[in-house]
Structure 1
Amino acid sequence: METKSTESPTAQVCEPHTGEGAIEIYIDPIKEARMMRKFDFCAIGLLGLFYMMANLDRSNIGNAQTAGMPQDLGLVGNQFGTATTLLYATYVPFEGPVAILLKIIGPKPLLSTCAFCWGITTLGMAFIQSWKGLYACRLLTGFFEAGLIPCINVYIALVYKKSERGKRSAVIFAFSAFSSAFGGILAYGLTQVHGPHGWEGWRWLFAVEGAMTLVLVPMFFCLFPKHTTTAWFLTSEEKSMMQARYDNDPHWGQDEAFTWAESLSAFADPKWWAFWIYQFSVDISLYGFTTFLPKIVSGLGYSGVHANLMTVPIYMVGLVWFLTIAYCSDRVGLRGPFLAGPLLCLIIGYAILISVESVKVRFFACFVVALGIYPTTGLSLMWLQDNTARHFKRATMVGMTLCFGNTAGVAVGQIFTTQSAPRYIKGLSISLALAVVALAMVAALSIGMMIVNKKRAARMQRAEEAGEVLDKRPEKGDYDVYFRYSL
């Protein structure tokens, strides 16, 4: 790598930072931004497409419900709610292990295999004839989709700096919001199809969406980069720049080898406990609201197929809002306040849905809830990773936070019961209460990390006044005195 340039230097050695005993390599910000846009297109874009299809394949059961699937399969009691829950019985336990495997196996082979398998399973949903087939397919879908979300979040932290992660997370969740909106349009069209051979519209929904996933697999396998520093789309200069990014931040843990001690250290970190409680609280809203929104909207007077269509503007508003929130969060370098605002939207929206009878006001409340759904679930994982140094501890914390948090998916089918449709007063009330819990966790994390930052700054100040130099200890990760938590 060149250290000097007469025009626009890509990298040059800067003076060591006081007390850190390390030199920092200057990277041309214009060239760096151009390089990261390549990752945006070739990595984030492909991951977003997978996330979009996974969201479609996982949540289309809600659209199938309004299209008559429970009646066609002869479901009774709360069998539909149980089918919704069963996906998370296999989804939840495998999130943590797969997140750890990402760096060991590699994202390309790992995610390609998972996507192929869940695509086949979704396609198989078109041929089920009873609750037994429905239950089996939901269990398999959960197993194969388990690793996607934690792997995406870990990959973002592996490639992007703290100041770059929020926007990328928003783009990923934008694909999810788009899938929810697009899913409503697609469901509206496909559920109108009947035949041949007596095929109901909801069967076409599963068949087409499963086939769409399978089409994406070879594209992903061919285009997704194998390694961040040797990606096929980078020039030799950009490969050196990418390595320099890692060299400049020893807390990143790019070259870290797996050890059980490093992974298990995540469970001794009090931040993890607060984050998974938070994640569980907001995931109740994410899975409950997005899965049962078509039914909630149908309770406002819209027919089954029109209910699917009316969810589209709700998701689009949520999408635009999240993109705005994420941009502002990265811009000012704060996460906590940008989680607190959307949490208040959840609380207000649920309160209106529960207490108001007016159809128009309740439809408006759906938009208010949508303002909170995606920022509260997406930015929180970036906040966790911003404040966790070293790769395998970070991967373990992300995976296990999602693992424990997504037990909410198991609960959703039991609190949003068939008998309580379409108002779902019980489910919405529990969601409101847990949004309050999540807000308390944000406050606790913000205050706690602010106190630690002040203590570390005071310690460094005392050392400087005494003429001492504190050693930088990157192996201590986020417990290193030089590490600063992002609030």
Structure 2
Amino acid sequence: MTFESNLENKVPVGTHRKSKGRPDYPEEYVVRTKPHVDSKVRSSSSSEVGITGIMTQSYEKALLRKIDWRLLPAVGILYLLSFLDRSNVGNARIEGLAEDIDMTGNQYLTGLTLYFVGYVLFEVPCNIILRRTTPRLWLPTLTILWGIVATLMGLVENIAGFFVARFFLGVTESGLFPGVVYYFSMWYKRRERQFRISLFFGAAALAGSFGGILAYGIGHMAGVVWENGWRWIFILEGIATVIIAVAAYWFIYNYPDTAEFLTDEERKFIHNRLTADSDATHDERFTWGNVIKALRDPKCWLYGMSFHTTSLPLYTFSLFLPTIIKDLGFKAAIAQLLTVPPYAFAFLTTLGVATVSERIEKRAIPLIASALFAIIGYIILLSNPDPAGRPGISYLGTFFAAGGIYPATALALSWPAINVSGQTKRAVANAMQISIGNLGAVLGTQLYRANDGPRYIVGHSFALGYLVGNIVVSSILYSLLKSENQRRDQIAPEVKEVGELVDWQGDDDPRWRFKF
């Protein structure tokens, strides 16, 4: 939302005015704030922040960098560990997992599915718990729990143990991503969130790169205690997760009002800039009514479908890439290393597209362009009739697929964090999006069957079709949000100082404008 209304748009409570091309609007939509002062001057005045002179833009940029360095590496590391611990099963598979526990190809796929069943069921409850506790308590605790589960996965001896471990890994990881997206919304202005979410999500691509390198090295531990090295992949990476999670109690912060690394002047400045932008400074009490608001909002379901249509290609790519490359004719160790370059490319495209999206202040157009880029990758993969005979062509396709899937997913995930107003509603909407989205992953885990390789026509075709579906959903959201903004332009002016409104109605308020 751009806050461009001025003093002319703010009239005394209980009066009505008619602006050019705009009809009268009811009293309840009149902005109840103190007389407008230019936002840069107001939020930076020495009387409010306690420093001499007018706060310059350089101060704000320096403060943002300070916040970024405290928040992004911390939560980025946790998400890297999360994605590593969920996707390393693909690396373990080609190191002997299936053979050692007598697991068929279909049973392996069932284990992957059970992860996402646990994930989907517990995302909304986890974000409700976050709303009622604190990030410093909840996020590290979740990380410790899934680190323990990930470690124990290295000790499974049969199919039942594998199934149970995968299900509870999904349960314990389910609260991290939607929780962090909500967490960002309490620190950053709306226009700043999308880029930070993309940076955070970029850790998933880094996890893929690190996972391949680590699996290559750990695979050489075959013969240490166990004949094959797959157990050490789970055990060592799981133990690392637990150790880092314990430290996270000291490097994860709560919200600006209590963060120890901020001065009192910086807290006031952050409070003022958030007040002039969103509801982050509201003292909102948790109510089940606000939970229901999210469930009843069609836009929240569309945000979920936007992720749903990228989730299937995202997770099938991350879970099956080692197998896809191995089936091109490479040995297991070489296949582990060859997974690294596509993920590194995905990390770069994610950051690049996020930067462009932030500068042009558009989401749908870069998202659609990214989906089209990934579609080219799957067309390359499907059009190669002899992947084992011409592995270079299929390997090139994995670069296009990765380079489009990851930035498209990052942009899709940023939409509710930017557009949903009402703290509880936003927390639930973020969790809803991940739950709806990961239903696509549940389907995707059943598509790459062993006897379909090396071409995997069914799996690649579904991924391509889902990306086409993403373009459709993104186009619908673009049209819906744009038309809703136009409708609201005829009702009330865009609001300034959201945080000071005593009659704020969240994103249902006609003074709220959506980003598209």
What's the TM-score once normalised by structure 1's chain length? Answer: 0.91
Q: In 2, distance between residues paired with 1:447 and 1:441?
A: 10
Q: Give 1:259 deviation, angstroms.
A: 1.2
Instruction: Give CA deviations for 1:266-316 in whole Å, capped at 9, x if unaligned.
Output: 122221222222221110011111110111111222111111100111001
What secondary structure sits across from 2:487 in the alignment? helix
Unaligned runs of 5+ in 1: 1-13, 462-470
Please tell me whether residue 327 in structure 1 is matched to residue 359 in structure 2. no
* Corresponding position of 1:476: 505
- The two structures, once aligned, show a CA RMSD in angstroms of 1.9
Give the Å deviation of 1:228.
2.1
Aligned residue number for residue 109 of structure 1 = 137
- Partners of 1:57 and 1:449 lie apart in 2 by 37
> Is the Cα contact below 8 Å between 2:43 and 2:273 reproduced in 1?
no
In structure 2, the residue matched to 1:6 is none
| 1:485 partnered with 2:514 | yes
**Are residue 236 (structure 1) and residue 264 (structure 2) matched?**
yes
- Displacement of 1:474 in angstroms is 5.5
- C-alpha distance after superposition, 1:157-197 (max 9, x if no partner): 22111221122112212211111001100001101212333
Partner of 2:148: 120
Percent identity reads 32
CA contact (8 A) 1:246 1:254 kept: no
Q: CA deviation at 1:224?
A: 1.5
Distance (Å, rounded) in 2 between the aligned partners of 1:239 and 1:26: 12
Describe the SS at the equivalent of 2:445: helix
> 1: distance between equivalents of 2:409 and 2:312?
10
Matched, 1:283 2:311: yes
Structure 1 equivalent of residue 417 of structure 2: 385
TM-score (structure 2 length as normaliser):
0.86
Aligned residue for 1:229, secondary structure, equals coil
CA-CA distance at 1:363 after TM superposition: 1.1
Comparing 210-219 with 190-199, greater Cα deviation is found at 190-199
**Residues 104-153 of structure 1: CA deviation (Å, up to 9, x unaligned):** 11111111111111111111112111112111111111111010111111
1:176 aligns with 2:204: yes
Q: Distance in 1 between matches of 2:274 and 2:283?
A: 9
Change (3 A) 1:288 1:254: farther
CA distance in 2 between partners of 1:296 and 1:146 (Å)? 27
Per the alignment, residue 10 of structure 1 pairs with none
2:455 to 423, 428, 431: 423
Q: Which amino acid aligns with 1:423?
A: R
Q: Is the 8 A contact 1:35 1:234 kept in 2?
A: no
- Conserved? CA contact 2:32–2:502, under 8 Å: no
| CA deviations over 1:242-263 (Å, ceiling 9, x no partner) | 2212322354464211111112
The residue aligned with 1:152 is 180
- Give the drift of 1:208: 0.9
Q: Which amino acid is the alignment partner of residue 365 of structure 2?
A: P
2:113 to 85, 89, 107: 85
Residue 230 of structure 1, CA deviation: 1.9
Q: Note the C-alpha offset of 1:328.
A: 1.2
The reply on whether 1:139 has 2:171 as its aligned counterpart is no
Partner residue in 2 for 1:4: none
Distance 1:178 1:213 in 2: 16
Equivalent in 438, 450, 457 of residue 482 of structure 2: 450
The corresponding residue for 2:89 is: 61
Judge conservation of contact 1:181–1:312 (CA < 8 Å) in 2. Answer: yes
In structure 2, the partner of 1:299 is 327
Q: Which amino acid aligns with 1:307?
A: A
Is the contact between residue 105 and residue 449 of structure 2 (CA under 8 Å) also seen in structure 1? Answer: no
The alignment status of 1:440 with 2:472, answered yes or no, reads yes
Amino acid at match of 2:169: T
Any conservation in 1 of the 2:144–2:246 contact (CA below 8 Å)?
A: no
- The number of residue pairs the alignment matches comes to 465
SS in 1 for 2:474: helix
Q: Deviations over 1:441-475 (max 9, x none)?
A: 111111111111122223348xxxxxxxxx97853
Which deviates more from structure 2 when the two are superposed, residues 108-117 or residues 352-361?
Answer: 352-361
Answer yes or no: is the 8 Å Cα contact 2:155–2:231 preserved in 1: yes
Taking a change above 3 Å as real, the CA distance of residues 423 and 17 of structure 1, as seen in their structure-2 partners, is: farther
Distance 1:370-1:254 versus aligned 2 partners, 3 A rule: farther
